[in-house]
Structure 1
Amino acid sequence: MASSSAGSTAFFVLAELTICLLVLLLLRYYLPLRTTPAYVLVPVFLAITLPASIVLLVPIDLASSAGTDTEGSRGIWLSDKVVYKSWRVTYWLTFALTWVILPYLGEYCDSGYREPKDRLMYSLRSNGQYQLMMLASGIVGMIYFILQNGFVFDTFKGLVMALAYAWGLVLAIYLMGHGLVALPRSLWKYASIGGRLKRLQGHVPKVHDKLTEALDKLSQYEHQVIQLRQRKNGTARDFQEWIEELSEMSSLPENRVGAVGRTTMTTIPPVITERYLADLTRKLKRARHAKMRFSDEWDRLVRKAVETQAILDSKGSKRLEFKNSPFQTQSNGPLSRITLLTPYTRYHLHVHVLPTMYYLASVVTALASAAIVWSECVNPLIDMDGPKLNLIGLTVVHPTSSSRGAIGFGRQIIAAAWLCYMCICAFFSLTEVKIWGNRALVKRGTYQESATWYGLQVAKLTVPLAYNFVTFTPPTIHKQTSFYNFLGKLIVLTPLGHGFSDYFPIFILVPVLASIFGLYGRVKKLCGFGDLLEDDEDDENAAYGTGSWREGRALIDREVNSANGTSLGLSSRGNLVSPPNERYRDDPVRPNAESSTRRQRVPDNNYEVSGNFFTDFADRVKNTFDTADFSFSRPKWMGGGDVGAGAEVWDGSAALVLHGVGV
């Protein structure tokens, strides 16, 4: 007698409610819920909730089609009708969000116009070129599908779904391949306290320059707003209200208006038009969010560097207290009053326990990445028992006496974990790829256009990754799933689609090998366009010997010890005071006593990364030759005299030159 699915239905409903709650908390972390309009929150909420539901729906679909009827061996299962309808609703909502709603909504939010009609027209014009490209590719694909299967409705639907799947799979395989290497490597590097501090210090100058540039741009645009306000009486009434709204958004102090005007060359046109005001509004919004983004990144970077320095300094005393740091690293919330760890136990936690956990997580994720790459490569080898060699398929499907196998509750958890890790690696790469412009996630200050874009990427990548994961299971199981009956049959409707779905995932070796051997840095040197992805090895090597980490340490020291507001401090950024123009140099001309005393207060951490015998000996020899005085006086037989009488003083290099020419 078949078991009832009432318990599985209750579990599915509770899991969906839990996913919705977690997504709301995530949106609350990155977006101000009270000020963000509903037409942005609802699509972004659905763009994250639906892919998360797919991660839950895939194991349920696999268990429902496993062919067992006993409740204990079947796990969480639903009827075929419920699963199929769930796939239809989830897929088409995700499709609409990915290709229609979110692209237009992002341009709508980024528009600088005031009226909704004008903003909608701007969104239509901005997406016109993109839609024409999609239409052209769709026409070519339609011709091919009609020649293969004739003109029927399934042909048109299969074309739309196959093109969306193909483009999403190309992007997903590339991003996931890079993340399969970058994520374990990042965990391994983060476990080293000294190496972590050096990387933070090396990243500080870049963020400092970006923050300085963002402050300058914002000041220039706000200066244009002030100029517009002075001329608003000669414009239309609607434009006057528009300019007043821009003035209220501006935060440029009056004492800096003249300074900004002298440094900028931007001038307002003689005739103020609606297009000019919209363009200025859009640039002003982008500049404000850029300033907020880099200010938040600067704060987090300095806080992490100071905290890491405190952990490094605690190795001598074996006591770690963050509150004693000159830069506050703990929040003042209600939980900060509760003391769970003593300074001694906190020292062991941050110096021994957490690094060990990071190393362990790095090893586990590296093994998982190797298993995914192996499964992608052997999965198309059906004639050579490729599914039997698929490691992921072996961990998901429990072998039984029947030819189909079984998927219980434990195997469903393993399947969800595999799919989550594949998605996490793809999403992790989005933070390292540098072709997305200035889009970023900022705590409580994410730009609305950036929020829609990230939601679009989550919705776009999850469906192809989910179907790619389903194909890891034996054909006797995944071809009976509702996901295959809904999407898979239309993907393999033509020989080209069947071959693309089976063999293209092997190209995951390209980003994997490029990340392992650091090919991005080499491509950057050869062709000049390898900066799409940062090469960790190249950046780490560049941080040594060039002064970047030393400059970062000096900037952090200035930030921590800034009290008069003349440096790039947290309080000064609130008034948009730009940092000083001087840059840090490794060889200052004449350090004063204050800077020397302050430098002594910052412990030197060179020993953690480069503190071996050979490098220390080389540094000592170099310092000896740099500080030694090799000048000498010309002897009397060469026409010289007493140094005190004003004789010439030659250095060693001049003497060598004279000796070389036979003088």
Structure 2
Amino acid sequence: MSYVPLVSAVLITFVIAALLLYRYGNWFRHHPIVTLSVLVAWYFSFIIIVIIPIDVSSTMYRQCLQEHRSGVHELDIDENMTMISMNSTEECEKPWSLIPERVLPRLWRVVYWTSQSLTWLILPLMQSYTKAGAFTVLGKLKTSLIDNAIYYGSYLLICIILLIYIALRPELELDGPRLKVIAVTASNTWGLFLLVLLLGYGLVEVPRSLWLMSKRGYRLRSLYFKASKLASEKSEAEENMDDVIYVLGELQVQIPDSHPLHVYLMTVLSKLPREEHERMARRRRTGSSSPNTLPSEKALIKVHTELIRALQRKRRTQTQWANLVEEIAWLEEVARNENSLDHVFRIHSDGELGFKPERPWWRSLYTPKIEWYWECAWKCYAFKALAVVFGVWSVFVVWSEVSFFNKEPVLSLFAKFVQLAKENYDYFSMEVISFLTISYLCICAYYTVFKIRILNLYYLAPHHQTDEYSLIFAGMLLCRLTPPLCLNFLGLIHLDSHITKKHGIEETAYTNIMGHMDVISIVSDGFNIYFPMAVLALCLATYYSLGARFLSLLGFQQFMVDDDITTDLVEEGKELVRRGSQTRLELLTNAEPMATDYSSGSRFSGNDPPRNIFDDI
């Protein structure tokens, strides 16, 4: 037995999670509590993905030992022969990553319940806390609880339904372990229903997007289209910010310095960046107001909340616009270099956007000639090859999802792969297949989330430009979707007895900690039938772009290749990007990063607006 694979996986996973958080978050501006909570959420979610393959190989080894012990026992009884001492461990090769049996259950217990506490209790409250406009801790917590009432209500509703179902079944006893199963089942049911929607879209859209990216000019046209829509949203965000600044200017006139609410007003005003203060000073009215027009504390809280949301929306759209224009600039450089006769990649500082785009950090690692071949010749074929690989993998997943409930014969391809590796004692291949499959399921699920961006409220921006609200949402989503996703994977490879209905098989340590849903047949039976049907139906709907066509009919224009409206929006976006090049330069030079927060900060100088969510208490 060796701890090296497990310890290495745990350490490497921590480094990856920390580097990702460093890339997207801002450790120096974000509150330490937020940074630590998000880091734990991301880290524990990644650990589940990495450790599940080790759990699978260890379970297959224990299953082999059990089968050999059972075979020896039957031989001694049936043939009435002299007892022969046989060591089953000599018949079964040990996995290279085998660890003591007690280790994984302890690890899963800590990881699973910590991540569940984060996703259902800590992170939702923290997320609402970041946007609460109250001026006291108690007021912010009260607002957070109210904001999460529907969210918690959906979870409690599932629990109540399961409790009623068990209460109506006299053969089922309601004890401590079953209550734990109800809690786990409610969480997994919530996650599985969401997982159906995400996988149904991602399994088709991920390989299709890669294939479309291989087409010359497609990516650039899609970004022009996106620029047209984003420009409208950016304009609305700026208008919304102007409205809030106007209201704040009125409040600054109405509330005298001696009034008790003036302290709260200063807390609200401290959220404004310096340039917004200057704008408000220019627009400030000099008239006085009567005492009857004094606002209430409730009105100040409302304005505070509106300011937090307006700042978050404005900074998000500014960051998206800056990143979008930068990507468009690079793709235009690639398009201009495609016609190069000497096959050397050159940067045109006098390009259409009027500035020299930033080059990737790896620019110095290879010559301009190699760069030309990669950007202008090889890259499209690499995308096509990757699209084919992902497309085949998606077909494997959909087929296995549709057929994994069929026990005899085994139709799930991943169950076949794992079983074949077990018969050959090829535990390394078994772990590689498990890791790649889980990783691909995660890619498809999370691609969907950050493609639709949930009404554009959340946005992960690199270079430390992601706000706390989006980071918390990402951590919450990872903790919520990863456990049911892994549960679904164990069903695909027939390692969950509530799926296969087989008795006497070894269970993974992960399943032993989570429990089984067999005690609640209404969930387990319904899941076996409707989950694969829903995934297949959503995949077909995505393949024929039914959702995009429906949204276009409702007025939410989507990027459709052969659509006149899309063509008009592409041309409009191209013109907007060209006209806004100078504005982009000013944003990159003067604008504050998106990662600044919307709360005041006593730890910062008076010249800087406050950053942290806990500092205005």
Global fold match (TM > 0.5): yes
CA 494–316 in structure 1, closer or farther in 2 if over 3 Å, else same: closer
Q: CA RMSD in A?
A: 2.8
CA 229–573 in structure 1, closer or farther in 2 if over 3 Å, else same: farther
CA 116–445 in structure 1, closer or farther in 2 if over 3 Å, else same: farther
The separation in 2 between residues aligned to 1:226 and 1:245, in whole angstroms, is 14
CA offset digits 1:323-349 (Å, max 9, x no partner) = 6343322259xx58x733333322111
Please state whether the residue corresponding to 2:364 is helix, strand or coil.
coil
Correspondence list, 1:152-551, <5 A: 152-233=175-256, 236-237=259-260, 239-250=261-272, 251-252=274-275, 256-257=279-280, 270-317=293-340, 318-322=343-347, 324=349, 325=351, 326-330=354-358, 339-383=364-408, 385=409, 387=410, 389-399=411-421, 406=425, 408-433=427-452, 435-436=454-455, 438-443=457-462, 444-475=464-495, 479-489=506-516, 491-506=517-532, 507-524=534-551, 528=554, 539-542=560-563, 546-551=567-572
Query: Is 1:37 aligned to 2:63, yes or no?
Result: no
The answer to whether the 8 A contact 1:30-1:442 is kept is: yes
Aligned partner of 2:21: which letter? L
The structural deviation recorded for 1:210 is 1.1
The structural deviation recorded for 1:126 is 2.2
Please state whether the residue corresponding to 1:249 is helix, strand or coil.
coil
The answer to whether the 8 A contact 2:422-2:430 is kept is: no
The structural deviation recorded for 1:393 is 1.9
The answer to whether the 8 A contact 2:230-2:321 is kept is: yes
The separation in 2 between residues aligned to 1:153 and 1:56, in whole angstroms, is 30
Correspondence list, 1:558-597, <5 A: 558-560=579-581, 562=582, 568-571=583-586
**Structure 2 residues not aligned, in runs of 5+:** 65-88, 286-290, 496-501, 592-617
The separation in 2 between residues aligned to 1:273 and 1:437, in whole angstroms, is 32
Aligned partner of 2:294: which letter? V
Q: Which protein, 1 or 2, shows the higher relative CO under an 8 Å CA cutoff with sep ≥ 6?
A: 2
CA 430–540 in structure 1, closer or farther in 2 if over 3 Å, else same: same
CA offset digits 1:212-243 (Å, max 9, x no partner) = 11112112212322332233316633x32332
Aligned partner of 1:422: which letter? L
CA 496–281 in structure 1, closer or farther in 2 if over 3 Å, else same: same
The separation in 2 between residues aligned to 1:205 and 1:84, in whole angstroms, is 52
Please state whether the residue corresponding to 2:562 is helix, strand or coil.
helix
The separation in 2 between residues aligned to 1:269 and 1:319, in whole angstroms, is 73
The separation in 1 between residues aligned to 2:490 and 2:540, in whole angstroms, is 25
The separation in 1 between residues aligned to 2:224 and 2:522, in whole angstroms, is 50
Aligned partner of 1:499: which letter? D
The answer to whether the 8 A contact 1:183-1:425 is kept is: yes
CA offset digits 1:374-420 (Å, max 9, x no partner) = 0001111124x1x3x2112223333566xxx7451222022111101
The separation in 2 between residues aligned to 1:480 and 1:503, in whole angstroms, is 22
CA 42–119 in structure 1, closer or farther in 2 if over 3 Å, else same: same
Aligned partner of 1:570: which letter? L
CA 524–436 in structure 1, closer or farther in 2 if over 3 Å, else same: closer
CA 102–339 in structure 1, closer or farther in 2 if over 3 Å, else same: closer
Please state whether the residue corresponding to 1:553 is helix, strand or coil.
helix
Corresponding residue of 1:614: none
CA 559–522 in structure 1, closer or farther in 2 if over 3 Å, else same: closer
The separation in 1 between residues aligned to 2:466 and 2:359, in whole angstroms, is 21
Corresponding residue of 2:48: 54
Structure with higher Rg: it is 1
The answer to whether the 8 A contact 1:375-1:472 is kept is: yes
The separation in 2 between residues aligned to 1:400 and 1:214, in whole angstroms, is 57
The worse-fitting range, judged by mean Cα deviation, of 39-48 and 175-184 is: 39-48
CA 552–522 in structure 1, closer or farther in 2 if over 3 Å, else same: closer
The structural deviation recorded for 1:103 is 1.3
The answer to whether the 8 A contact 2:322-2:584 is kept is: no
The structural deviation recorded for 1:311 is 1.2
The separation in 2 between residues aligned to 1:450 and 1:313, in whole angstroms, is 36
The separation in 1 between residues aligned to 2:111 and 2:201, in whole angstroms, is 28
The answer to whether the 8 A contact 2:415-2:493 is kept is: yes
The answer to whether the 8 A contact 1:252-1:575 is kept is: no
The structural deviation recorded for 1:145 is 1.5
TM-score, structure 1 as length reference: 0.76
The separation in 2 between residues aligned to 1:449 and 1:545, in whole angstroms, is 32
Kindly, what percent of the aligned residue pairs are identical? 23
The structural deviation recorded for 1:63 is 1.1
The worse-fitting range, judged by mean Cα deviation, of 406-415 and 46-55 is: 406-415
Aligned partner of 2:56: which letter? L
CA 465–134 in structure 1, closer or farther in 2 if over 3 Å, else same: closer
The separation in 2 between residues aligned to 1:98 and 1:540, in whole angstroms, is 39
TM-score, structure 2 as length reference: 0.81
The structural deviation recorded for 1:512 is 0.5
CA 544–210 in structure 1, closer or farther in 2 if over 3 Å, else same: closer
Corresponding residue of 1:17: 11
The structural deviation recorded for 1:102 is 1.3
The worse-fitting range, judged by mean Cα deviation, of 291-300 and 274-283 is: 274-283
The structural deviation recorded for 1:479 is 4.6
Please state whether the residue corresponding to 1:439 is helix, strand or coil.
coil
CA 278–98 in structure 1, closer or farther in 2 if over 3 Å, else same: same
Aligned partner of 2:111: which letter? T
The separation in 2 between residues aligned to 1:276 and 1:445, in whole angstroms, is 31
The answer to whether the 8 A contact 1:179-1:428 is kept is: yes
The answer to whether the 8 A contact 1:63-1:407 is kept is: no
The answer to whether the 8 A contact 1:419-1:469 is kept is: yes
The structural deviation recorded for 1:535 is 5.6
CA 319–155 in structure 1, closer or farther in 2 if over 3 Å, else same: same
The answer to whether the 8 A contact 1:211-1:294 is kept is: yes
The answer to whether the 8 A contact 2:255-2:294 is kept is: no
The answer to whether the 8 A contact 1:223-1:257 is kept is: yes
The separation in 1 between residues aligned to 2:454 and 2:558, in whole angstroms, is 14
CA 76–255 in structure 1, closer or farther in 2 if over 3 Å, else same: closer
CA offset digits 1:4-50 (Å, max 9, x no partner) = x2x2x222122212211211111112221112112212221121111
Corresponding residue of 2:108: 87
The worse-fitting range, judged by mean Cα deviation, of 10-19 and 204-213 is: 10-19
